[in-house]
Amino acid sequence: MNSLRNAEGTTEVDLLRSLLQEGGISPVFQPIVDTATGIIYGYEVLSRGKAPLESPPVFFSVARENNLLWETERACRRNALATIRDAAGGSPLRFFINVSPGVFTDPRFREVFTAEALGPYGVEPERVVLEITESIPVADYCELERVVACFRERGFSIAIDDLGAGHSGLRTLSICAPDFLKLDMALVQGISMDPYKRHVVSFLCSFASAVGGKIIAEGVETWEDLKTLLELGVPLAQGYLFARPAPDFRSPAPYVLERLALLRRAVCKGDCIVGEGLRSLVIRRTTAEKGEMTCEELERIFRKNRTLDHLVVLEDEAPVGLITRQNFFLKTGGTFGYQLYQKRPLEDIATAAFLKAPVFSSVSTLAKLAMEREPDELYDPVVVVDDCGLFLGTVTMKQIIARAGELEVERAMSCNPLSGLPGNRHIQNWIEEARQGESCTLIYGDLDRFKEYNDRHGFLKGDELINLTASILREGLDVLPSGSRLGHVGGDDFVCVCPGPVSHLALESICRSFDERKLVYFAPEEQAAGWYEAENRRGERCAVPLVTLSLAVIESERIAPETHPGKIAEIAASLKHAVKQKTAHEGRSAWMFERRRTDPEAMVAENAS
CATH 3.40.50.2000 fits 418-602, yes or no: no
Rounded Cα distance, 515 and 510, in Å? 9
pLDDT of residue 403: 78
Task: Determine if residue 233 is left, alpha or beta; phi over 0 gives left, psi from -120 to 50 gives alpha, anything else beta.
Answer: left
> Which residue pairs from 387-393 have beta carbons closer than 8 angstroms and sit at least 24 positions apart in sequence?
387/261, 387/358, 387/359, 387/360, 389/318, 390/317, 390/318, 391/287, 391/312, 391/314, 391/317, 391/318, 391/319, 392/282, 392/284, 392/359, 393/282, 393/283, 393/284, 393/285
Rounded Cα distance, 198 and 469, in Å? 18
Chain centroid to Cα 168, Å, comes to 23
Low-confidence ranges of the chain (pLDDT < 50): 1-5, 7, 270-275, 599-609
Over the Cα atoms of the chain, what is R_g?
A: 30
Domain spans of the chain, in order of start: 23-250, 279-405, 418-602
Q: What's the pTM?
A: 0.49
Residue type, 237: A
Question: β-strands 26-34, 40-48: how paired?
Answer: antiparallel
71 φ, ψ to 5°?
Answer: -65, -40
- The CATH T-level fold of domain 279-405 is CBS-domain (3.10.580)
> Strand, coil or helix: what is 348?
helix
pLDDT of residue 445: 96
CATH number of 23-250: 3.20.20.450
Rounded Cα distance, 421 and 414, in Å? 9
> CA dist 104 to 114, 123, 142, Å?
13, 19, 13
Number of residues that make up the chain:
609
**Does a cis peptide bond (omega within 30 degrees of 0) precede residue 524?**
no
pLDDT of residue 226: 93
Hey, which residues does 95 pair with through a beta bridge? Answer: 43, 128
Residues sharing a CB contact under 8 Å with residue 428, sequence separation 6 or more, in sequence order: 565
39 φ, ψ to 5°?
Answer: -85, 145
Beta strands in 276-345 (DSSP E): 287-289, 310-315, 318-324
Residues sharing a CB contact under 8 Å with residue 122, sequence separation 6 or more, in sequence order: 84, 85, 89, 90
Rounded Cα distance, 351 and 368, in Å? 21
Residues sharing a CB contact under 8 Å with residue 572, sequence separation 6 or more, in sequence order: 442, 444, 552, 554
355 φ, ψ to 5°?
Answer: -80, 120
Which of 509, 436, 477 is CA-nearest to residue 266?
A: 477
pLDDT of residue 75: 87
